[in-house]
Amino acid sequence: MSQKPAIRVRAADGKPREWKALHTALGGQTFIRVYAQTGNVEFILTADSAKQLEGLREKLAAAGVEEMVGGATIAATAPSRLTNTQPTRRGGFQPRGGPPPRGGAPQGRQAAPANNAQPLPGKPYGFVALPNELKTASPIWHDGTGSAGRLSGEIRLELETLTPLLVGWERGQVGDGESDWPVPTNLPDVGQLKEKKSVLCPLRAPWGKRPVVIPGDSLKGLLRHELGALLGAPMARTSADTFMLKKKKNGNYEREGLPSLDNPQDPSDSPISNLVGYVRDDDWMMGHVAVNAALEVVAEEDEEARFEKPTFLKVLGAPDHKIGQHYLKRPLPDANQEPLRGTVAGRKFYLERSAEIAQRPWEDTSDKNKKDDQSTLVLEASKPGRKFRFTVRFRDVDPIQLTAVLIALSPEQFKGVLEGTHKDGYCSKLGYARPLGWGSIRIEAKALLLLDEAGYAPVLEPVVDLSAWVTKHHQKTGTQDEWLAIHRFKHPDAADYPKPRRRTGGVR
């Protein structure tokens, strides 16, 4: 077992129950670990911090379990995986921890006790669940009427790559004669390319050593997604959190009876739309935060030191994003119970996989992959250790909102404020091939400058102690702990997509 804070609990009614159901009843957050013990009546629960464990204690009675004070919390299981002692059921997606161990007990037989269980495979992504109550906020208009007590200015930031990074700008296809930028059929260090092979490269500036440019809209998209999870804002494309699924002939599930994809709330009420704006059909609102492009910092390095060699990536797209059960939090019932229902897992985040970087899990150099027009050849991906600089400007933002922006961009820098204790720290994900291990970055706020308009001429005044300023104005949100946990560097649950021996339920 791990050395994380842990307690031992048992079912209050003395009846066996599934660990998946207990995990859901306790809130389903990613930092919760549930280890079933022999008989499935007793369980060991762990969390990432003592504070999170205290929060779990408050939920025990409602979940139908009681703490065994002084009970043993050591079991010979993999610390970063959930353990299942129920009979193995093939097919379908197993939320929170992946499918059962391969070669598990046959149907109708009980699997080995937890102390003999094999680690369950992980997956490259996780979710930050939606809070029980979604937050809304009245819009602040741009006519100056809401400026009192609000801040304007800019944040100067530096981004560092931890794994290869490519924020794709131009995608070409071999043999596309109508393209403005035709891809040659033969490239240096690559050789002859197959017809219709996709080639992806970054945007580069036309001066000097042609520094790489990360478009501002990509960085703003990162900020919007992070703020949505951190602040517990409504999701823009669903109007409820329950999906109903009906099994199709091929074993996959299709969404049926879904609520409208239009958000029933006025989008201007969302705290995210207030900050970064929105556009929907003929309706739009300008935000209060603008993000400019990030420019690579280039000194005297040659291109070999800056860029990865041409890389043939593995085929992306598994599991199919249209298969709804991969995005449900509640475990699915048996396949003969239709329609299936489940709760939306929340906002999706790719987990950090630097622990596997030596194995280059993103690359497939086989002849078959090189000839596969579904895979992508990447040119000029930035190597780990490259730095970029950019600026975020803001107008009429209150201190609490500004603090949220700083934390959303820089979880590693402000982990002390957030009470983060992960030994490897925290990071964010950006760009292409994130599920394969690319796109791990850390962003540091180098300076916060606030606009002072009280004098003869407006000036930008720097905040002397940024950490103290953030600590002063920080307000913890209900999703903060779960949001921070999913940003762990070398995430313990990160892995490739599960690959069962045979195709079942659309997972491959």
Structure-token pair, residue 475: 């307000």
List Cβ neighbours of 468 (8 Å cut-off, separation of 6 or more): none
Structure-token pair, residue 310: 């041409």
Q: Residue 311 has what pLDDT?
A: 92
Measured at the CA of 285, the angle between CA 281 and CA 287, to 5 degrees, comes to 135
Structure-token pair, residue 358: 């030596």
State the residue for tokens 């979710």: 127
Q: φ and ψ at 141, to 5 degrees?
A: -80, 170
Residue 97 burial (CB < 10 Å; 0-12/13-18/19+)?
buried
pLDDT digits (tens, 9 = 90+) for 53-110: 888 888 888 888 888 877 677 643 333 333 333 333 333 223 333 333 333 333 333 3
Our CA dihedral for 439, 444, 446, 448, rounded to 10 degrees, sits at: 110
* 312 contacts 370 by C-beta, under 8 angstroms: yes
The full DSSP string for 73-90 is ---SS-TTS-B--SPP--
Cα Rg for the chain, rounded, in angstroms?
24
Our CA dihedral for 382, 384, 385, 389, rounded to 10 degrees, sits at: 40
Q: Residue 192 has what pLDDT?
A: 79
Summary mean pLDDT of the chain = 77
Alpha-carbon gap, residue 171 to 181, rounded angstroms: 9
Alpha-carbon gap, residue 35 to 45, rounded angstroms: 6
Beta strands of 98-146 (E only): which ranges?
A: 125-128
Q: Residue 375 has what pLDDT?
A: 85
List Cβ neighbours of 109 (8 Å cut-off, separation of 6 or more): 87
List Cβ neighbours of 398 (8 Å cut-off, separation of 6 or more): 149, 150, 151
Structure-token pair, residue 117: 């269980």
* 349 contacts 181 by C-beta, under 8 angstroms: no
Query: Which sign does the torsion angle of CA 195, 199, 204, 208 carry?
Result: negative
pLDDT digits (tens, 9 = 90+) for 338-364: 444 556 778 899 999 988 888 888 988
3-state secondary structure 148-160: CCCEEEEEEEEEE
Q: Residue 328 has what pLDDT?
A: 64
Tally the residues of the chain. Answer: 508
Contacts 24+ apart (CB under 8 A), 22-27: 22/63, 22/65, 23/82, 23/96, 24/329, 24/330, 24/331, 25/59, 25/62, 25/63, 25/64, 26/56, 26/59, 26/60, 26/63, 27/56, 27/59, 27/129
How crowded is the C-beta side of 376, counted as CA atoms within 13 Å? 18
Residue 211's CB is within 10 A of a number of other CB atoms, namely 17
Structure-token pair, residue 201: 């490269």
Q: Is the pTM of this model over 0.75?
A: no
DSSP lists the bridge partners of residue 381 as: none
Kindly list the averaged pLDDT for each block of 10 residues, start to end, along the chain of length 508.
74 84 83 80 84 86 84 50 33 32 34 32 80 75 83 97 91 78 79 83 94 96 94 66 46 41 50 80 83 95 92 72 56 46 78 87 86 86 97 95 97 97 96 93 98 89 96 95 96 76 40
CA-based diameter of the chain, in Å? Answer: 82
Instruction: State whether residue 403 is helix, strand or coil.
Output: helix
State the residue for tokens 């905040």: 463
